[in-house]
Amino acid sequence: MYSQPTTLRSVLDPKYLDYCLSNLYDIGDWNDCSFWLRGLNDTYRIRTSTGFYILRVYRHSISENDVVYELSLLTQLIDELSSVSTKVSVPISQKDNSLYTVIDAPEGQRIAVIFSYLTGTENVLQDEKSCFSFGRSAAELHTALDKITLTLPRYDLDTNFLISQPLNRIVNYIGEKHSATPFLREYSNALIERIITASSQGLDWGICHGDMHGNNNAFQEGDSFTHYDFEWSAKGWRAYDLAQVRGRKRLPEDNKALLWNALISGYRSVRDFTEQDESSIELFMKARRFWVMSLDVEFINDFGALDFSEDWLEGFINEFRSYNIV
């Protein structure tokens, strides 16, 4: 029974956010707050008397512990990256030094964080110089991530997160009796077996960015990159981080190998990436695509089911069959 209207996911009025947040920060008078982007979370651009800022309003399912983890990671990274060119987005402190606010929304409580406004451009990595610079930046980021300490409980980017949980989400959506389900189970088991075999060779493991696809999570200024969007950051295989860049759809087909070689050369100019790590990239590209399929399912209530019909399912099944691992 419903005693009042409810919503799956709201878009909060910028004026409401101004009302909730502007007096908490010492960033000047708020002149404008504009709804900027609807993604997995909602992004707003704030213009104050001191300049521009970015406001992220996390979706309702993101817990306070999730945000505290991300902010703790970012604040430590700022210090660890101080001696290199790679940077990360900076959360802005409130007057009482807290970094986030829990606000009421129609669907429940959501968490708001204001970040520094990044300058530079979103480089889509289609030339060798940019790829080398991004690879070097990724290595600097991984090196810094090796030095930070996080005490909050967190999932790992392991086979359970990448394969087993996604399989359950997908099967729950299409149904156990769907004709595609037996193949998806067989395929996921094959992926898990291959990842276990690869990881037994001693792949680099540590805190990852978690969403390092190089499309919309880093700004370039000169030869330097500033990374943001650490929502999926957790311990995992570093090859999985780099596989996301390798598998980007925006890469021109005729230059993929050349651009990848430039990126991995940039990475190796800073830290080691073994032949075993590199040989697992293709495998983690496949794991990433399986996880992305389940991400579609997870956010159907946000974006609507129309685009996730039998054609959507057939596209993924055909892609997975083309890998010839089962």
pLDDT tens-digit series, residues 250-268? 666 778 889 999 999 999 9
Residue 99 lies inside a defined structural domain of this protein: yes
Q: How confident is the model at residue 223, as a pLDDT? A: 87
Q: How confident is the model at residue 199 (pLDDT cuts 50, 70, 90)?
A: very high
Tokens 């000169």 found at = 222
Q: Is the pLDDT confidence value at 6 over 90?
A: no
Residue 72 lies inside a defined structural domain of this protein: yes
Residue 128 lies inside a defined structural domain of this protein: no
Range of the domain at 279: 152-249+274-322
Q: How confident is the model at residue 249 (pLDDT cuts 50, 70, 90)?
A: low
Q: Are residues 279 and 174 in the same domain?
A: yes
Q: Are residues 296 and 213 in the same domain?
A: yes
Rounded distance between C-alpha atoms, residue 23 and residue 49, angstroms: 14
Q: How confident is the model at residue 1, as a pLDDT? A: 61
Residue 142 lies inside a defined structural domain of this protein: no
What average pLDDT does this structure show over 164-169? 98
Rounded distance between C-alpha atoms, residue 18 and residue 14, angstroms: 6
**CA 94 to chain CA centroid, nearest Å:** 25
Q: Is the pLDDT confidence value at 8 over 80?
A: yes
Q: Are residues 183 and 306 in the same domain?
A: yes
Predicted TM-score (pTM) of this structure: 0.95
Q: Output the CA–CA distances (angstroms, integers) from residue 234 to 70, 142, 277, 294, in the order listed.
A: 9, 12, 18, 18
Q: Are residues 175 and 306 in the same domain?
A: yes
Q: Are residues 212 and 316 in the same domain?
A: yes
pLDDT tens-digit series, residues 21-53? 999 999 999 999 999 999 999 999 999 999 999
Count of structural domains, the chain: 2
Q: Are residues 164 and 102 in the same domain?
A: no
Tokens representing 216? 């919309």
How does the average pLDDT of the chain come out, rounded?
94
Rounded distance between C-alpha atoms, residue 123 and residue 250, angstroms: 11
Q: How confident is the model at residue 202, as a pLDDT? A: 95
Rounded distance between C-alpha atoms, residue 241 and residue 233, angstroms: 10
pLDDT tens-digit series, residues 263-282? 999 999 999 999 999 999 99
Residue 137 lies inside a defined structural domain of this protein: no
Residue 287 lies inside a defined structural domain of this protein: yes
What average pLDDT does this structure show over 218-229? 91
pLDDT tens-digit series, residues 85-106? 999 999 999 999 999 999 999 9
Rounded distance between C-alpha atoms, residue 31 and residue 210, angstroms: 35
What average pLDDT does this structure show over 107-121? 94
Q: Are residues 107 and 186 in the same domain?
A: no
